[in-house]
Structure formats: structure tokens, C-alpha cells
A and B are shown apart, each in its own frame.
Chain A
Amino acid sequence: MIGQAAPLFKLKGLDGKTYSLTEARGKFVVIHFAATWCPFCNAEAPHLDQLAKDYKKQGVQVFLVDVKEERNLVEKWSTRYNFSFPVLLDLDGAVSARYAPEGVQPDLARDEVPLASNLIIDKDGKIRFYSLLNTTAFDAKLTAVRKTLDTLLKSNKSP
């Protein structure tokens, strides 16, 4: 999916507002797909929040997309991390399914494939980074996402 246009979405956030990828055009967007029961998502969560804070001034928008869970559960879970960015509810998994690369993990439902994955979408809406979960080379501190963001931000400043 690298280099392809990111599937557009419009999702409700826990704060009641509606967020869309179109409205974030012009910013670098980091998306993390998660579920409250996902141990790797939970391990990444504080690092994702730190990343959001560290890159906010550089115009990076972070979204966490919770996949197919009830609002009350996600709301309670999110208070643990006090996220500084919007937590979006993909209640039927439709958005997550559209972000599943074709032919990957065929024994999972399509909306389950992106769980614990991270994406970077550039200012033109193209996917520039996509890491699916790999528990044997887990990158909880999101070093690869940070490195890619640094590169993209640096090249964006170039004339």
C-alpha cells in the first residue's frame, strides 16, 4: 500500500466530533489501529501519546482508530493513557478493513489485519509508511515511525 492513496474515512471520536482524513489534508497523519484487548497496542499506547506531543508543533496529526468495540469500553480504556489526540471509533470495522493490505494474513478477517499497525500518510494523502504487527521484532517505542517522520519532515522543508 506504500505510495497508494490512503482510503478516505470519516469517523466519530470519543469527544463526539467527527474526524475525516480529508480535513487532515496538508498535514502528516499517523494512524494506529488498536483494540483494548490487544497487548501490543497497549504497550505502544504511551509511546504513541509521547510521539503525538513531540511532533504536534511540526503539524503531525495522530489518530488512534479503535476497531469494533463499544464506546464505553474504549472511553474507560483511553482514560488510562490520557491521550492528547483523537481516539476514533470504527464501530463496524469498515475503515480498518479498507486499510488491510491485499493478500496479507488471509486467515484473519479483513478488519482484524491492521490491528496494532501504524501508518504515516503524507500531506497529499498518500501512504508513506505502514508497519503491520510483528511480535518478534516489536517496536513499542515507535522508533521506525519517528525515523520516517523525521525524514519526511526534513525533506518537506527542503526547497
Chain B
Amino acid sequence: MIALFILLSSLINPALSSDIVTVTVRRMKLEAGSSITVRIQLEVKEGYHIQAHNIADEYLIPTSLDIEAEGFVIEKSFPLGTKLRLEGSDDTLDVYDGTIEIDVTLRAPAIVRGKSKLRAKLHYQACDAKRCFPPRTLGFVIPIDP
């Protein structure tokens, strides 16, 4: 059996950031056929918020994560957002601010040959006190070492 190690490392894969969100992936290992839970940490810049993952309004842009990992079984668990009341309105938003942790459970395929990469994309839409920014995508790579 070929041992598979996934190194999710802030050393190998340093924290990636846009001007609003910084993504950090903690160092972990995974053997072929087994599963682990990877904790992906988002740091939302002070004064900003992004829409949460579970939001009721179909037109708003929820925070979401795409991981391209052929052969892997992937389950993602997003935290609940906090309520933000829009001043002068009865509407509330579910948002993330500060530090958010997304747990991603990865089950590796039985056999993986050679080095590979898990490409990930974080989609989000941010606002601060005076602006709302168009939806953005932050790409990052999770390196896999056999």
C-alpha cells in the first residue's frame, strides 16, 4: 500500500489572503484510505463581515468552499453565522466576522500515486461599515505528499 500523506501546512502553504479574508490551513497528515478533519481558518479583517454559509436569501452570496479533489470524499461543516440587524430596517443578515473555522472531512482514496494538490476556492461577499464589495473568490492550494 502506498502511504498517502497530506500535509496541510501553514509552512508549506502559507496563509493566503485577499485584502479582507485570510485563509490558514493547519498542518495535518492523512494515510491512504483513512480520513481526517481539516480545520480551515478564516480571519475576516476587523470592521468587515462576510455573508455566512447558511443564509435564507437565495440572492445573497453565501460563504462557500470548493475543493477539487478527485477520488476524495469531502464533507464540509460551516459554523452558524451571527445575526446582524440592518439599521433602519427589519431585516437581519447571518454573517461571519472575526475568526471562523470551517471543518472539512477528507477521506483519501485507497491509492494515490505521486504528488498532487487539492485546489480550493473560497467564495465570499463582504461589506464593511460603508461599502459592500462584489463577490470575490480566494484560491488556495492544499499540497499532498505521498
Contact pattern, B 12-39, Cβ under 8 Å of A = 1, otherwise 0: 0000000100000000000000000000
Contact indicator B128/A135 (Cβ below 8 Å): yes
User: Counting CB contacts under 8 A, is A140 at the interface?
Assistant: yes
Tell which of A38, A43, A77, A139 touches B91, judged by Cβ atoms closer than 8 Å. Answer: A43
Complexed CA–CA distance, A39 and B57 (Å): 9
Contact indicator A136/B127 (Cβ below 8 Å): no
Contact indicator B130/A132 (Cβ below 8 Å): yes
Chain A residue with Cβ nearest B89: A140
Contact indicator B129/A135 (Cβ below 8 Å): yes
Contact (A38, B132) CB under 8 Å given A107-B19, A135-B127: yes
How extensive is the interface on chain B, given as a class? 20 to 34
A42 — which chain B residues lie within 8 A by C-beta? 57, 59-60, 91
Chain A residue with Cβ nearest B130: A134
Smallest Cβ distance from B54 to chain A, in angstroms? 15
Contact indicator B131/A39 (Cβ below 8 Å): no
Tell which of B60, B93, B131 touches A37, judged by Cβ atoms closer than 8 Å. Answer: B60
Complexed CA–CA distance, A38 and B130 (Å): 13
Most buried by A among B51, B60, B132: B132
A36 — which chain B residues lie within 8 A by C-beta? 59
Most buried by B among A37, A132, A139: A37
Complexed CA–CA distance, A45 and B129 (Å): 20
B86 — which chain A residues lie within 8 A by C-beta? 39-40, 43, 135, 138, 140
Contact pattern, B 119-139, Cβ under 8 Å of A = 1, otherwise 0: 000000101111111110000
How many residues of chain A have a CB within 8 Å of chain B?
A: 28
Smallest Cβ distance from B75 to chain A, in angstroms? 27
Complexed CA–CA distance, A140 and B127 (Å): 16
A107 — which chain B residues lie within 8 A by C-beta? 19
User: Counting CB contacts under 8 A, is A105 at the interface?
Assistant: yes
Smallest Cβ distance from B17 to chain A, in angstroms? 15
User: Counting CB contacts under 8 A, is B61 at the interface?
Assistant: yes
Smallest Cβ distance from B113 to chain A, in angstroms? 41
User: Counting CB contacts under 8 A, is B88 at the interface?
Assistant: yes
Contact (A116, B132) CB under 8 Å given A39-B93, A136-B87, A138-B89: yes
What are 20 inter-chain pairs, A to B, with CB distance below 8 A? Answer: A37-B60, A37-B61, A37-B135, A39-B57, A39-B60, A39-B132, A42-B59, A42-B60, A42-B91, A43-B86, A80-B59, A108-B133, A112-B134, A132-B130, A133-B130, A133-B131, A135-B86, A135-B130, A140-B86, A140-B88
Chain A interface residues (CB < 8 Å from chain B): 35-40, 42-43, 68, 77, 80, 105, 107-108, 112, 115-116, 132-141, 143
